[in-house]
Structure 1
Amino acid sequence: MAVAKLGTVVVDCPDPRALAEFWAEVLGGTLEADSGQTEWVDVKVPGGQALAFQAAPGFVPPRWPSPEQSQQFHLDLSVDDLDAAERRVLELGARPLEAEDRSRSWRVYADPAGHPFCLCAG
């Protein structure tokens, strides 16, 4: 028997609204926040788990890859077309974290705040 069920995944960042807008575009979600809210913004993802973005003073993004610093977590996103998904996330402000390796079924990027995520063929 489970002790709990997953509620919301919360991502620390320097600018919650800007990062929420990026992820809403990537995931096809919608922003949900009070107009004056600057410390917390939710993204409702169709048919999926909610993501929330929380202001974190002094935020330092993880480094990828780094033997000295763990990344904590990252999101794996399943996509039908790796090339098309890559073009779109780059247009939205993501940046590649590894040299292109077209032989793999995944590619690694950072969101605008520096959080790593993977696009995975699938």
Structure 2
Amino acid sequence: MQHRCFTRLKNALPVELYHGDTHLGRFATRDISLDGMFVETGDLDFFKNDVIQVDLMLFGERYLMRGLVVRRETHGIGLVLIDVNPRYYKAVTHILSEDGPGGRVEAGPPACDQKYAMGRAG
């Protein structure tokens, strides 16, 4: 089941992931949206419903958020963002309104479950 509610921008952005106090590494996004992202993590083990900390830079500004793992693929994870900072929404909305810097925008599904639109899965 896909949880995408918003338009996605296909673009590789640097992101650092943490699980508790453990730094998992520096990775790249495959796509981002207002409510989530897919992160190329290689062969690191994650489990569905793991909560991890996301450290993302956009326009020179740092965004610290929590993400819930909702999908695991061979080379990465799909995250729904939790407790998203309103500044992140503004930055991503700006990127999407311009079709992103070098990225490709894809529309999400026409209808979406409200709990995912609010960044809360469960």
Bigger CA radius of gyration: 1
Task: Using structure 1 for the length normalisation, give the TM-score.
Answer: 0.29
Higher relative contact order (CA 8 A, sep 6+): 2
Task: Using structure 2 for the length normalisation, give the TM-score.
Answer: 0.29
Please identify which structure carries the higher helix content: 1
Please identify which structure carries the higher strand content: 2
